[in-house]
Amino acid sequence: MKENPIIYYGGDYNPEQWDEQTMEEDMRLFEEAGITIVTLNVFSWALLQPSEDTYDFTTLDRIVDTVTKHGLSICMATSTAAHPAWMARKYPDILRTEFNGMKRKYGSRHNSCPNSPNFRRLSRNLAGALAEHYKDQKNIVAWHISNEYGGACYCENCERAFRIWLKEKYKTLDALNKAWGTNFWSHTFYDWDEIVAPNLLSEHIDETTTDFQGISLDYARFNSDSILQNCVDERDAIREVLPDAAVTTNMMYYFKDLDYQKWAKELDFTSWDSYPRYYTKPASVALWHDVMRSLRHGQPFWLMEQTPSVTNWQPVNRIRRPGEMRLWSYQAVAHGADSVMFFQMRRSAAASEKYHGAVIDHVGTNQTRVFREVKALGGELQKLGNQTTGARTPAKVAILFDWNNWWAVEYSSGPNDRLRYTEEVHRYYEALFEQNVSVDLVDVYADLSAYQLVIAPTLYMVKPGVDEALKTFVKNGGELIVSFFSGIVDENDHVTLGGYPGKLRDLLGIWVEEIDAVPEEAPNAFTYQGETYPATLLCDLLHAETAEVHATYRDDFYSGMPAITCNHYGKGKAWYVATASDHAFYQQFLKDRIEECSIAPVLDTPKGVEAALRESEKGTFLFLLNHNKTEETVLLPHGGLDLLTDCSYAPQSSLTLPAKGVAILKK
């Protein structure tokens, strides 16, 4: 993937909904706002293919010609996220069956069965036809497969495909029965055709409560793989015509359905749609930017969608306050984005997204607050040019983040329904974020050699080889933090027998004998470095074998048992935090670990002011983002040139950021 020549600025543009005159007016307004790219053709399948034997590119040709004439780059979508009505009527197998067993009729979007042979054929053909038709269109800089893939299907096509997937994975029924532990509750399968999809009609009580974790876990993997195959089908159809095409699909926020780490390997670059709620913490958005950047080993990603002002689909659609769109756009860039893009460019007049914010509102002019903010940001991005594009984030801390573990932790029957994997990840991330420490969120098989500190929050599932990789990391001098309810099961959700935390037992130097779920109203407590903190959610009751004890529980019959331990292993240390605690604890505990590892935070800043770094041969860029509603002053030990204002700061001078203000200092 080539480096972006600028920070692309624009977004989803649907002029199919408008007449030609409106489009001409859009072009004028886009130029005024500094728009450089449009994503076209996201939902146009019904227009492009009025019947099975006919493609009609007339409307899209007109749009492509117009935006090209006005010098815009194109991110070309393949339109396959909503199938045409005629297709559903002609081939009912393309319609999904829901988790509750309900077969859908035509309607909505994101509604195609991933294992329908007809859907696979028709979507692949469309992607290929688009590539063929636009193969000489030089301003297409990226291909955008489908849109916001997700969900799951439980139809008979999928059930058949699941059996094939299982045969490929397990080869024999004997191996499958062992992996799923089917002697429990008389589940032994004697014929592949006896296997059905795990949903509300079979193993499930609700989406996350299953009676057979192994089956549900495999179905989650199968479903993610099935939908990924749709994406790969289209990617391959494009590559057959355009071998050098840059292909992506837009991912989403805290999205559990799809194993994005597996998906990212099939794409040329990562892109995602960021839609925080009005109360979402800046740390949560930053975390997800870092997940996206880490999917392809730190390669810059695209912010494919965000709203310039408001969403329509959240329970409370609060408009973004003045300055927030700019601040959140720069936060994406600070964490590795090489584009700032919106949904949508012009606000639609009909159907479900007509109240979703847009660059051009229903009034249709440049006389809106939102347009003025978009235009101001467009001017700044033009001024920034290509200075920050391609730059990387230097991180010495990695947090392990694993989709299979996410599924398994939340399918687990017990010990506490309130346990959420992403919240455990967030506890550690937020404390690092607030100390301006750069973090990668990597998969469990990532190369850890570049990191000094690795954190594995609730690593419940230890996949083959992961224990060895962690041991090597610590043996070579790394510092590892593992939190409670870790090392419990293997990749099939089978408990590793012989004492928790299973394969991590000698590395951590502990034995967890029991796990106590803590009611919300009755937390335990522990004292760390002289301060007392709550012990919540789960308390592992453990024995230190070779580990040192750094904190013990205060209350209950396990008062005095270890709550925090540290095991010296080779040249490094392996910490175990046996419970969940409050924010103050994570701040202190991680501050100590950062100091111990001599990891330098990006900058010391007032609370609520984020500092993030990107580096390339073009320079080192320090992003300062004031998330507060008040002006803040930041001391700059090294000084630098603010690329947004051209103000030069001497070493040891200070910079004042207005509320929601941003500075980008080039060292």
Q: Which of 305, 353, 424, 632 is catalytic?
A: 305
Instruction: Pick the closer one to Zn ion by CB: 99 or 484.
Output: 99
Q: How many CA atoms lie within 13 A of 424 on its CB side?
A: 31
Smallest separation, CB 34 to Zn ion (Å) = 44
Binding site residues, Zn ion, CB under 5 A: 113, 115, 153, 155, 157-158
Query: Among residues 161 and 561, whose Cβ is nearest to Zn ion?
Result: 161
CB of 98 to Zn ion, least distance (A): 10
Least distance in angstroms from the C-beta of 218 to Zn ion = 16
Residues 6+ apart with CB under 8 A from 40: 13, 60, 63, 64, 67, 74, 75, 76, 77
User: Strand pairing partners for 103?
Assistant: 97
Q: Is the Cβ of residue 32 or residue 257 nearer to Zn ion in the bound state?
A: 257
Closer to Zn ion at the Cβ: 113 or 334? 113
- For 235-238, the CB contacts below 8 A with 24+ separation are 235/127, 235/143, 235/145, 235/266, 235/267, 236/124, 237/124, 237/125, 237/127, 237/128, 237/131, 238/78, 238/127, 238/128, 238/130, 238/131, 238/143, 238/145
From the CB of 158, what's the least distance to Zn ion, in Å? 3
Please state, in angstroms and rounded to a whole number, the distance separating the CA atoms of residues 95 and 283.
Answer: 38
**Min dist. Cβ of residue 527 to Zn ion (A):** 54
Q: 367 exposed, middle or buried (CB, 10 Å; 0-12, 13-18, 19+)?
A: exposed
Quick one: tokens of 312?
Answer: 């329509």
Comparing CA positions, the residue from 418, 429, 466, 426 lying closest to residue 445 is 466
Q: Are 371 and 224 in contact (CB under 8 A)?
A: no
Catalytic residue among 148, 410, 430, 434: 148
In single-letter form, the type of residue at position 284 comes to: S
Of the candidates 601, 602, 605, 600, the one whose C-alpha atom is nearest the C-alpha of residue 654 is 605
**End-to-end CA, the chain:** 27
Residue 297 and residue 331 in contact, taking contact as beta carbons nearer than 8 Å: no
Q: Is 305 a catalytic residue?
A: yes
Instruction: Locate 397 and state its tokens.
Output: 């801390």
What residues does 495 pair with on adjacent strands?
A: 489
Q: Do 153 and 248 contact (CB within 8 A), yes or no?
A: no
Q: How far apart are CA 627 and CA 280, in angstroms?
A: 12
d(CA 604, CA 637): 9
Distance from C-alpha of 435 to C-alpha of 277, rounded to nearest angstrom? 23
Annotation says 148 is catalytic: yes
Query: Please, how many CA atoms are within 13 Å of residue 293, restricted to the half-sphere of its CB?
Result: 29
Residues known to be catalytic: 148, 305
